[in-house]
Amino acid sequence: MDEKENQGIESWIRESMDPEKLSNMKIEIMETDKKTEGLASILVFAKVTGTDNYNNHKEIDLLIKVGRRSNEELMRQVYRRELVFYERVIPMFRKFYSAKDMKNTFDAIPKCYKTFISGDIEAVVLENMRSREFTVLDLQSPMNLNHVRLVLENYAKFHAMSFVLQDQGSQEFNKLTADQVSLMKQMVLTMGIYRNEDRGLRNLKKTGREDLVAAYEKVINRSKETIMLDIFNDVPKEAVITHGDCHIGNFLFKYEDNDPKNPVDVVIIDWQTYDLHSPVLDLSYFLYGALSSEDMPQIGELIKFYYGHLSRFLQDSGSDVERLFPYNTFVEHWEKYSIYGFIIMTSCLELYYVDREDTSFDDLKENGDFKGILEAVNLDDETSYLERLVAVVQHHCNFKLVPNS
């Protein structure tokens, strides 16, 4: 990063630190690898030191996300969407819950110090969660059930906030979601991966599982692009604000006593494609992408775990899940919309297994298209990839969520 860019970042940091009222402030900027981190953004780490009003030494570790310069309007909208999330969505939720003195609400995100939009620059200054011992999992290693349940509990909290705001503050929610444009829908329209050759089907045929190939073709009975667009055009009345980008790399976990099997906290990052739709879009994307082949049969129980927490959070907030989102309606949503996560993971699971050091992500950085990347890569572990692909297909094609009698 050149001197001019460093000066711009330093000015953002100084402005974002105004509320901290630090004297003798010093800023140290460290740049990350542009190739392997932050496909949609350049990530810059920084450390701020100074003295607070009580004459105590203070250190603040920051992550600055800077939107990559792009001629594509869609990618510019993607950069700005995350800024809107931190500027409007979270403050609105927090203001509403604070006024009603509601406890135990969603807080699994980094602290946002400030956002900036100026000309062709979009940036957000966030707390660097890695400095608090939060770590990201290896994309090629599925989550165990402890990790999955922790994420589902926090998704339940997050989705519950939309339901409660709609129920008890509909005007605020309507303002928040007015003229909401689905960036995921726009990305589907630009991604040849959903329109051209079905790589998921082609790779499934390598396994020799003719039964699963037939089941896959029965489920995907028209183009994936058409199915996805039909979903985006069918926003249910029980829609919530969704995370939208539920792959393994967007969850950072903290552990107690260095036990990597038992996380005690999670932070959800990358809100650049948050949307307004059924919670099932988040759930199906997350579960099909996070579970191992051995744990895939647990989806039914995990869905009930999520719904139980959603119900509890709504009740604690003074809303009635049976009126807002009864279980049988949730089942209908799963039957109707879970194909969304199935399509994403059968199309993009390969990306978990590419060697990022040896792969050019230029096409993705410029216009969000995975097609050119997947056509040119070799997988680190094709056997593990195919095993997980089989598990996803086998589950989705055979699973039926049972409604209450």
Q: How far apart are CA 140 and CA 354, in angstroms?
A: 9
Which pair of tokens denotes residue 274?
Answer: 């948050």
- List the one residue out of 279, 283, 284, 397 whose CA is nearest residue 329: 279
The DSSP symbol for 403 reads P
Residue-by-residue pLDDT tens, the chain, 405 positions: 556 566 788 999 999 999 999 999 999 998 664 544 445 678 999 999 999 999 999 999 999 998 876 667 888 888 899 999 999 999 999 999 888 887 788 999 999 999 998 777 889 999 999 999 999 999 999 999 999 999 999 999 999 999 999 999 889 999 999 888 999 999 888 877 888 889 999 999 999 999 999 999 999 999 999 999 999 999 999 999 999 999 999 999 999 888 999 999 999 999 999 999 999 999 999 999 999 999 999 999 999 999 999 999 999 999 999 999 999 999 999 999 999 999 999 999 998 998 766 555 554 544 455 656 666 667 888 999 999 999 999 999 999 998 986
Q: Cβ-count burial of 153 within 10 angstroms (0-12 exposed, 13-18 middle, 19+ buried)?
A: buried
Task: Give the H/E segment covering residue 70.
Answer: none
Which CATH number goes with the domain that contains 89?
3.90.1200
Q: How far apart are CA 387 and CA 380, in angstroms?
A: 14
Backbone φ and ψ of 218, nearest 5°: -70, -40
User: Which string of DSSP letters, residue by residue, matches 163-213?
Assistant: HHHHHH-HHHHHHHHTT---HHHHHHHH-GGGTS--HHHHHHHTTT-HHHH
Residues contacting 168, CB < 8 A, separation 6+: 96, 100, 317, 318, 319
For residue 176, give Cα distances in angstroms to 90, 106, 162, 241, 282.
10, 17, 10, 10, 19
Domain with 354 in it: 81-108+130-398
Sign of the four-CA dihedral 341, 202, 398, 140: negative
- List the one residue out of 45, 44, 12, 47 whose CA is nearest residue 27: 47
In a domain, 113, yes or no: no
- List the one residue out of 302, 282, 268, 200 whose CA is nearest residue 240: 282
Task: Give the H/E segment covering residue 2.
Answer: none
Residues contacting 310, CB < 8 A, separation 6+: 156, 159, 160, 163, 279, 321, 325
pTM of the predicted protein model: 0.93
Instruction: State CA 214 to chain mean position distance.
Output: 31
In a domain, 291, yes or no: yes
Residue carrying the six token digits 């000309």: 119
In a domain, 344, yes or no: yes
CB atoms within 10 A of CB 388: 21
Q: How far apart are CA 175 and CA 43, in angstroms?
A: 31
The DSSP symbol for 21 reads -
Task: Give the H/E segment covering residue 51.
Answer: strand 41-51
Give me the number of domains the chain comprises: 1
In a domain, 405, yes or no: no
In a domain, 39, yes or no: no
In a domain, 47, yes or no: no
Report pLDDT for 117: 85
| Residue 123 · residue 12 · CB < 8 Å | yes
